[in-house]
Amino acid sequence: MRKKIIFPCSRYPRLSEELMTRICSALQLRIEVLISGRNSKEVACARQVICHLFCSFSDLSFGQIGTLIGRSRPAVYYNNSEAIKHLQTKDQLFVNYWLKSIRIILKSMDELPLEMFEKKQYIRCK
């Protein structure tokens, strides 16, 4: 799968933190819980959604995403793989979290300064 970079997080380091904060808020989950070692289904699902979003649409490496969510590079790879499986099987909890996250990202693209997003991709996504 080819990446479509929408969030240039390496150029705007606060963008990744801001998006993660907004996604956690939409999922009614504290960031501390996401980063902690808890692995309830809801927390694991939220972590997979965030990993897949950043792996698919940002210019961050697996290692950088791992640092962001307090996990190792292989854990990010695993979470991304699981997210792809959940999307393919249409897991209800995952799809619900995914749709909430996408709505938040689209809303964020309107609220945050446009230069924080890749303009070509932003226009294409509308």
What is the tens place of the pLDDT at every residue in 104-126?
887 877 776 656 555 544 444 44
Beta-bridge mates of residue 7: 58
User: Residue 107's pLDDT is what?
Assistant: 81
Task: Tell me the pTM.
Answer: 0.79
Distances (CA, A) of 18 to 12, 28, 112: 10, 15, 9
Domains for the chain: give ranges and CATH numbers: 13-125 (1.10.1750.10)
Q: Residue 94 CA to chain centroid, in angstroms? A: 13
Structure tokens at 97: 């979290």
The residues that bridge with 15 in the sheet, in sequence order, are none
What gap in Å lies between CA 76 and CA 14, rounded to an integer?
Answer: 20
How do residues 49-64 score in pLDDT, each as one tens digit? 999 988 888 888 899 9
For residue 47, give the nearest of 59, 38, 56 by alpha carbon: 38
For residue 82, give the DSSP letter. Answer: H
- Residue 5: band (very low, low, confident or very high) from pLDDT cuts 50, 70, 90: low
Buried b (16+ CB within 10 A) or exposed e, 66-84: bebbebeeebbbebbebbe
